[in-house]
Amino acid sequence: MGCDPPSSTITNDVAPANTTPAEVLSTGDGDTLKVRSKDGTSSKIRIGCIDAPESSQEYGPEAGQRLKALLPSGITIELWEITTDQYGRTVAEIYSEGKSVGLQLVQEGYAVVYHRYLEGCSATADQYIAAEEEARSQKLNFWSQSNPEMPWDFRRSR
């Protein structure tokens, strides 16, 4: 859909220039939200390059609450569109106040890197991987479990 955002080597505090503003209407689980664009249309967004635990999974409710705290209804965010998924949702990196929300969720242990789709975030992939390694080594949230079940495995087993 767009070009890769500019690579930033250390932090998640620079949103790419070619983003689209949208207003947060609501959040779902830890990696989905509903937004309204400037033209008034609403759409579902799947945060790209991450996967959060499902609502019925260990740390799923916490991931959903954290996303809701980061993206309260009514705030304006920036979307960097990657693609459209099989359910018709826009897959995008989300930026709030210039910071990557997906990267923050991974840093805090509320989401994991979705390696299968990481090429959509090629400019920031190294940051996602480093953030996950750090969260895992610190046993933050999802990573505090002795044997965490990856969200994609959890969905497949249900």
pLDDT tens column, 104-131: 999 999 999 999 889 888 888 999 999 9
Fold designation for 20-157: OB fold (Dihydrolipoamide Acetyltransferase, E2P) (2.40.50)
Locate 81 and state its tokens. 């569109």
pLDDT of 28 reads 93
User: What whole-number distance in Å separates Cα of residue 157 and Cα of residue 53?
Assistant: 13
pLDDT of 14 reads 63
pLDDT of 88 reads 94
pLDDT of 139 reads 98
Query: How far apart are the two ends of the chain, measured CA to CA in Å?
Result: 32
pLDDT of 15 reads 66
- pTM for this prediction: 0.89
Residue 51's contacts (CB-CB under 8 Å, 6 or more residues apart) are 31, 111, 112, 113, 114, 150, 151, 152
pLDDT of 82 reads 94
Residue 132's contacts (CB-CB under 8 Å, 6 or more residues apart) are 106, 112, 113
User: What whole-number distance in Å separates Cα of residue 6 and Cα of residue 20?
Assistant: 15
User: What whole-number distance in Å separates Cα of residue 7 and Cα of residue 26?
Assistant: 29
Determine how many CB atoms are found less than 10 A away from the CB of residue 25.
14
Residues of the chain with pLDDT under 70: 1-16
pLDDT of 143 reads 98
pLDDT of 6 reads 37
User: What whole-number distance in Å separates Cα of residue 103 and Cα of residue 80?
Assistant: 13
